[in-house]
């Protein structure tokens, strides 16, 4: 790698998006955030939607800023986003309807209806994906029930990163890592599960050709090159389109007995496997087999992550308490251990709203201590997350027979030192936190490998290790989580009844 290479990563999360210019030189990478923005959504009486054109305008703005700061030439551009949501297009490439947000109510009860058509066990055998009501399959089935079924008018169905790739280069493809979140992809063939698509009566013609991460889709459209000042011959790569797949690609792993945790709005904990792991136990524990880079499988579980804290912060801010995340974490530290917990998988925590009140209501219902204090509520969230991580890690060990000693954490959650220490204490493993911008770094890595600049994922992870500082957290107070574990489990079982 003698010459400097430049890439652009467009990393879209459920709360915010960023356009990051990456400079690769002398076996090191530096990331430069040139534009950050809110990933616009619209909630009104009849639905909760993504404003994808507003988001795309922000992407174009980010490309323009990248050009102003780093010149017209880049060696690649790629997009990653959250999973499960999609855009429908007609034969002329026009958007049909406002794309739905996965937190919309339309999928309430849809899993039960789906299982009447195809048994739960059969769906899992064919896709290996954990069941959640927001999965794309259940969104599509909900659409089929509408008086005006937009699937009948659609020519193509594109997952979010595939849609933005199309907007950048004009090519409609289905990148595997993001398609694997739909509940409609086969992890063995890494293609659509046509049998399930037929069984659910979904129109086969709308599903695009499946491609692997790292595919060169084409070049930047001329009108966008003219608008942004960028060269029109810049390749548009299908990176690992699912943000977690990109994040995992950035883990500077050196150990063999490790697991990963991508910590942001969602927490995703798991391990890398060379083959899907689909059996009765993985179904019972609701684990998922999602696509990864270089043919790997991410065997993991989705956990509601810092979403609950984000919603609390939004509520507190709207009510005159404008604290940042560092201040909130400090208030939680002052409370010490709160000894009160919630089940983050409870459906009430999935939807927006007065999150502090939802947490307090759960505590009242389970006869736990309640305080109307910011530090206490934040402490409940952090400890509940740590307990959830502990439970999930034990399930991974049980299903795979592997003993995990190291937990690599990437994403924004790594900046929360209290949560990282609680995670180490609860799981009883060494936590290696960083990089913070793991998703953008992984996005760039897939591009660099595709461009022939870096030979493989192993080499890329060495570059990450040489480029970013990580922070190590050793377990220091495992006794609290061990002694409280049975009480935590009783609370969860009590609520299930």
Residue positions annotated with a catalytic role: 243
DSSP state of 93: S
Strand 77-80 to 5-12 pairing:
parallel
Q: Contact 258/409 with Cβ under 8 angstroms?
A: no
430, β-bridge pairs? 406
DSSP state of 95: B
d(C-alpha 347, C-alpha 496), whole Å? 12
DSSP state of 83: S
d(C-alpha 467, C-alpha 459), whole Å? 13
Nearest to 453 by CA among 132, 201, 235: 235
Q: Which residues of 320-345 are buried (b: 16+ CB within 10 A; e: fewer)?
A: eeebebeebbebbeebeebebbbbbe
Q: Contact 258/98 with Cβ under 8 angstroms?
A: no
C-alpha pair distances (Å), 104 with each of 48, 86, 191, 315, 377: 5, 13, 27, 20, 25
Indicate the helix (H) or strand (E) that contains 2.
Answer: none
d(C-alpha 17, C-alpha 80), whole Å? 10
Nearest to 283 by CA among 299, 303, 296: 299
Phi and psi (nearest 5°) for 61?
A: -60, -40
Q: Which two tokens stand for residue 326?
A: 């560092």
d(C-alpha 458, C-alpha 249), whole Å? 9
CA dihedral over 83, 85, 91, 92, signed as positive or negative: negative
C-alpha pair distances (Å), 120 with each of 188, 196, 304, 402: 18, 12, 22, 27
DSSP state of 190: T
Nearest to 157 by CA among 217, 103, 210: 210
Q: Contact 135/123 with Cβ under 8 angstroms?
A: no
Residues in the chain: 497
DSSP string, 296-318: -EEEEEEEE-THHHHHHHHHHHH
d(C-alpha 366, C-alpha 361), whole Å? 9
């Amino acid at each position: 790698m003698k010459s400097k290479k430049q890439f652009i990563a467009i990393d879209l999360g459920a709360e915010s998006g960023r356009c990051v210019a990456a400079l690769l030189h002398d076996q090191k990478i530096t990331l430069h955030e040139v534009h950050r923005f809110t990933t616009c959504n619209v909630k009104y009486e009849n639905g909760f939607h993504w404003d994808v054109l507003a988001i795309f305008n922000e992407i174009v703005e980010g490309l323009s800023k990248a050009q102003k700061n780093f010149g017209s030439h880049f060696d690649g551009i790629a997009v990653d986003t959250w999973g499960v949501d999609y855009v429908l297009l007609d034969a002329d490439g026009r958007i049909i309807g406002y794309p739905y947000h996965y937190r919309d109510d339309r999928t309430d009860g849809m899993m039960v209806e789906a299982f009447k058509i195809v048994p739960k066990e059969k769906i899992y055998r064919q896709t290996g994906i954990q069941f959640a009501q927001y999965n794309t399959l259940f969104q599509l089935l909900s659409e089929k029930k509408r008086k005006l079924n937009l699937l009948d008018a659609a020519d193509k169905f594109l997952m979010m990163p595939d849609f933005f790739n199309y907007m950048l280069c004009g090519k409609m493809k289905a990148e595997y890592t993001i398609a694997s979140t739909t509940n409609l992809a086969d992890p063995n063939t890494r293609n659509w599960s046509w049998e399930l698509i037929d069984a659910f009566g979904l129109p086969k013609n709308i599903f695009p050709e499946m491609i692997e991460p790292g595919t060169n889709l084409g070049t930047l459209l001329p009108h966008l090159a003219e608008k942004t000042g960028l060269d029109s011959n810049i390749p548009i790569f299908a990176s690992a389109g699912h943000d977690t797949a990109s994040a995992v690609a950035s883990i500077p792993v050196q150990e063999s007995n490790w697991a990963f945790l991508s910590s942001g709005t969602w927490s995703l904990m798991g391990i890398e496997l060379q083959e899907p792991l689909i059996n009765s136990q993985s179904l019972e524990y609701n684990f998922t087999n999602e696509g990864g880079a270089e043919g790997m499988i991410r065997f993991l579980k989705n956990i509601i992550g810092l979403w609950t804290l984000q919603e609390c912060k939004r509520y507190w801010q709207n009510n005159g308490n404008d604290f940042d995340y560092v201040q909130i974490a400090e208030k939680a530290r002052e409370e010490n251990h709160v000894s009160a917990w919630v089940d983050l998988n409870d459906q009430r925590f999935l939807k927006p709203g007065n999150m502090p009140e939802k947490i307090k209501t759960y505590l009242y219902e389970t006869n736990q201590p309640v305080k109307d204090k910011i530090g206490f509520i934040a402490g409940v969230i952090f400890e509940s997350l740590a307990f959830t991580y502990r439970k999930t890690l034990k399930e991974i060990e049980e299903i795979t027979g592997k003993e995990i000693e190291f937990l690599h954490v990437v994403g924004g959650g790594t900046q929360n030192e209290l949560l990282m220490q609680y995670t180490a204490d609860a799981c009883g493993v060494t936590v290696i936190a960083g990089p913070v911008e793991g998703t953008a770094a992984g996005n760039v890595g897939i591009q660099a490998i595709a461009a022939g600049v870096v030979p493989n994922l192993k080499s890329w992870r060495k570059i990450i290790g040489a480029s970013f500082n990580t922070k190590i957290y050793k377990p220091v107070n495992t006794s609290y989580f061990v002694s409280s574990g049975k009480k935590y489990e009783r609370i969860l079982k009590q609520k299930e009844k």
